[in-house]
């Protein structure tokens, strides 16, 4: 069996796989195929190790094509092998990258693969860190694709690509008129609708269409304020710096921050010993006035508070994790690493994150007969994974303040003052 899903982005969008009944039934002879933006070959460090460990213990083999959020330096350093008729990068013994322009015979089906993409937002990303020019297919890859298709008489069971078909046609010399003619055929439409209905039943996708703003992000609201915020982010990109700021923290000293807000001061303990880069960045940005006037907004599920509309300063650094700083309650402060290149200026404060995971997992596990012991273990695992995926660099000292802000919908920050001893 082959199960197909969309982008997973490391652990960011992996929940659709974790409790999926179909995937739970797969054996060592089955496959999971991720159609772009796998996210498990990204930094070459702990982030990748955790993701690849997750897939490596599964009985099935995980396959993926590349998207436009891949570290192509690392990906192209993996050994190239022939497998089931086409070339792959063997990432691990259980994780294979299906290279561009190949025709594979998998589970009795012929599958043509062609990854890659076009990052419209590449001006806002950093070459060699969050964007690689190799995301766009080369002339050699397109030539190889046509040669492999010709060897198969231009007949395959499935085409797996990351791009829109119009973009792909420009490189693959595809007859777009013939494509649309076949796409509008009623028999083909009925067959696709049947397959789509089967996929919806698995719970791996919620539906279509997906809306993008400037091909960048589907999460923006289309009201005037949100659009203004988006435009401001693009405008501010010219003020970004490309390198991490100079070190301002000193070894052996303790650092605290005072968040001046409309409801009073919030005192925060910083963790320079376990998250030196994050603390150094936070102090630099705070003293530069980067956070003045920003708003913390409580998420709809009441799990965290997010710093909204914070312009990305332009640099990034690796996620810093220390087991002693695993989240065990409200008031922890971390850097939002939900995108591939974390925004050091976009921080969050945890609220009722355990309650959020408990409710979510109970809903997902409804009817599966999960024991309370297994349930608690999985909640702990989700919190640990969240802690490891987002640098935790501070915590609110006054628990009464934390309880007070739980009842607010948003919190405006006037200024942030750094203190040291």
Q: What is the pLDDT of residue 201?
A: 63
Q: Is the pLDDT of residue 114 over 90?
A: yes
Decide if 311 contacts 322 (C-beta within 8 A).
no
Decide if 313 contacts 370 (C-beta within 8 A).
no
Measured at the alpha carbon of residue 361, what is the angle toward residues 357 and 367, in degrees to the nearest 5? Answer: 160
257 and 377 in a single domain? The answer is: yes
For residues 386 and 352, give the distance between their C-alpha atoms in angstroms, rounded to a whole number: 13
Q: Is the pLDDT of residue 399 over 80?
A: no
Q: Is the pLDDT of residue 83 over 90?
A: yes
Output 226 or 116, whichever has higher pLDDT. 116
Q: What is the pLDDT of residue 210?
A: 42
223 within domain boundaries: no
Output 292 or 108, whichever has higher pLDDT. 108
Q: Is the pLDDT of residue 352 over 70?
A: yes
**Boundaries of domain holding 366:** 243-420
Closest CA to 326 of 396, 398, 399, 390: 390
For residues 203 and 358, give the distance between their C-alpha atoms in angstroms, rounded to a whole number: 19
> In terms of residues, how long is the chain?
421
401 within domain boundaries: yes
216 within domain boundaries: no
Most confident of 88-102, 229-243, 287-301, 401-415: 88-102
17 and 121 in a single domain? The answer is: yes
Enter the pTM of the model: 0.53
pLDDT band at 390 (very low <50, low <70, confident <90, very high): confident
Q: Is the pLDDT of residue 97 over 90?
A: yes
Q: Is the pLDDT of residue 177 over 70?
A: no
Decide if 152 contacts 110 (C-beta within 8 A).
yes
Give strand pairing partners of 307.
296
**Average pLDDT of the segment spanning 204-214:** 47
Q: Is the pLDDT of residue 107 over 80?
A: yes
How far, CA to CA in Å, does 75 sit from each of 43, 69, 89, 260?
Answer: 11, 11, 7, 45
50 and 198 in a single domain? The answer is: yes
Query: What percent of the chain shows pLDDT beyond 90?
Result: 23
Closest CA to 102 of 66, 61, 60: 66
Decide if 375 contacts 251 (C-beta within 8 A).
no
249 and 187 in a single domain? The answer is: no
Q: What is the DSSP letter of 133?
A: G
317 and 405 in a single domain? The answer is: yes
Last residue of a domain, one of 202, 226, 254: 202
289 within domain boundaries: yes
190 and 320 in a single domain? The answer is: no
117 within domain boundaries: yes
Strands 295-298 and 264-270: unpaired
**Average pLDDT of the segment spanning 178-199:** 68
Query: Quick one: which H or E segment has residue 374?
Result: helix 372-389
Q: What is the pLDDT of residue 329?
A: 78
Q: How many domains does the structure of the chain reveal?
A: 2
Residue 391, token pair as written in the block:
């640098």
102 within domain boundaries: yes
pLDDT band at 53 (very low <50, low <70, confident <90, very high): confident
pLDDT band at 336 (very low <50, low <70, confident <90, very high): confident
Which residues in 184-231 belong to E strands, given as ranges? none
291 and 355 in a single domain? The answer is: yes
Give strand pairing partners of 114.
161
Last residue of a domain, one of 138, 169, 202: 202
Decide if 8 contacts 37 (C-beta within 8 A).
yes
Output 372 or 403, whichever has higher pLDDT. 372
Q: What is the DSSP letter of 155?
A: -
Decide if 383 contacts 354 (C-beta within 8 A).
yes
257 and 341 in a single domain? The answer is: yes
Most confident of 14-23, 171-180, 337-346: 14-23
Q: What is the pLDDT of residue 178?
A: 66
For residue 341, the domain's CATH number is: 2.40.100.10
336 and 398 in a single domain? The answer is: yes
222 within domain boundaries: no
174 — phi, psi (to 5°)? -85, 140
Q: What is the pLDDT of residue 223?
A: 57
287 and 388 in a single domain? The answer is: yes
Give strand pairing partners of 350.
304
**Average pLDDT of the segment spanning 296-313:** 72
**Average pLDDT of the segment spanning 123-137:** 81
Virtual CA dihedral for 56, 334, 120, 147, nearest 10 degrees? -10
Q: What is the pLDDT of residue 211?
A: 43
231 within domain boundaries: no
160 and 270 in a single domain? The answer is: no
Q: What is the pLDDT of residue 279?
A: 93
Residue 376, token pair as written in the block:
């608690």
198 and 247 in a single domain? The answer is: no
């Amino acid at each position: 069996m082959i199960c197909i899903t969309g982008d997973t982005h490391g652990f960011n969008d992996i929940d659709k796989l974790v409790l999926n009944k179909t995937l739970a039934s797969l054996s060592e002879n089955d496959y999971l195929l991720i159609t772009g933006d796998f996210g498990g070959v990204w930094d070459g460090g702990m982030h990748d190790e955790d993701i690849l460990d997750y897939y490596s213990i599964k009985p099935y083999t995980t396959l993926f094509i590349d998207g436009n959020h891949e570290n192509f330096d690392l990906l192209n350093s993996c050994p190239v092998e022939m497998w089931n008729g086409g070339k792959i990068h063997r990432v691990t013994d259980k994780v294979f990258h299906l290279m561009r322009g190949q025709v594979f015979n998998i589970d009795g089906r012929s599958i043509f693969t062609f990854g890659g993409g076009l990052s419209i937002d590449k001006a806002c990303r950093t070459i060699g860190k969050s964007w690689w020019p190799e995301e766009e297919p080369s002339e050699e890859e397109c030539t190889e694709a046509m040669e492999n298709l010709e060897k198969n008489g231009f007949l395959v069971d499935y085409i797996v690509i990351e791009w829109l078909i119009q973009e792909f046609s420009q490189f693959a010399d595809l007859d777009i008129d013939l494509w649309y003619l076949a796409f509008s055929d009623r028999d083909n439409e009925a067959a696709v609708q049947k397959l789509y209905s089967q996929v919806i039943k698995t719970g791996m996708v919620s539906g279509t269409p997906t809306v993008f703003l400037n091909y960048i992000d589907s999460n923006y609201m289309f009201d005037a304020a949100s659009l203004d915020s988006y435009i401001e982010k693009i405008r501010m990109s010219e003020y970004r710096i490309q390198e991490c700021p100079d070190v301002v923290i000193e070894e052996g000293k303790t650092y605290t921050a005072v968040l001046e807000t409309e409801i009073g001061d919030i005192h925060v303990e910083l963790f320079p010993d376990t998250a030196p880069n994050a603390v150094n960045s936070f102090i630099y940005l705070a003293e530069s006035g980067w956070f003045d006037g920003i708003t913390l907004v409580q998420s709809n599920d009441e799990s965290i508070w997010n710093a909204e509309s914070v312009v990305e300063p332009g640099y990034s650094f690796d996620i810093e994790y220390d087991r002693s700083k695993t989240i065990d309650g409200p008031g922890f402060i971390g850097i939002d690493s939900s995108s591939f290149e974390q925004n050091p200026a976009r921080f969050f404060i945890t609220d009722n994150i355990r309650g959020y995971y408990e409710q979510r997992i109970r809903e997902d596990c409804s009817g599966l007969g999960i024991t309370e012991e297994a349930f608690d273990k999985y909640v702990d695992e989700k919190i640990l994974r969240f802690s490891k995926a987002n640098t935790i660099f501070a915590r609110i000292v006054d628990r009464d303040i934390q309880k007070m802000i739980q009842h607010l919908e948003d919190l405006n920050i006037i200024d942030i003052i750094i203190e040291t001893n």
